[in-house]
A = this chain, B = another copy of it.
Amino acid sequence: MTLDFSKGLIPAIIVEDATGDVLMLAYMNDESYQKTLDTNTTWFFSRSRNELWNKGATSGHFQHVKEIRSDCDNDTLLIRVDQIGAACHTGAHSCFFNLEKEVTEK
C-alpha cells in the first residue's frame, strides 16, 4: 500500500517479534521509511532534532525488521523487530514503564 504522509509524520509502533511486547513509538517520514525498507533496520525522523536517525547507530541497540504492517488508513505503521539490547534510551526494555492507571474491578 502507498503510505499516506499527507498529515505529516507517521507514527511507527515498534513491537518485539519474539515476545509481542510494545517497545516504543517513533515517527517516520517518507525518507526514513525508505531507509528502513532498504536496510531492514529502523530509521526515524526526530521531531526535536529535525533529522533522520538510525536506531542503534550510537547505542548499538539496533532493531532488525521482521515484518512491517500499515493500518486501514495507511497512516500508522506496526513494525515487528528483533531488538538488540534495550529499546529505551533509559536502558529499559520498553519505553512504556510509567503506569498511569490500572482497572482491577470487574
Interface residues of A (CB under 8 A from B): 1, 7, 11, 13, 15, 20, 22, 24-25, 37, 40, 47, 64-74, 76-78, 88-90, 92, 95-103
Contacts and interface: CB of A to CB of B under 8 A. Distances in A.
Contacts of A100: 1, 68-70, 77
A72 B88 CA distance: 8
B97 A69 contact: yes
Contact of A70 (B13, B67, B96): B96
Contact of A20 (B20, B64, B71, B101): B20
10 contacts: A11-B11, A25-B76, A66-B102, A69-B100, A70-B96, A71-B98, A72-B88, A72-B89, A72-B98, A77-B100
* Chain copies in the assembled complex: 2
A76 B47 contact: no
Given A11-B25, A78-B22, A90-B72, A40 B95 contact: no
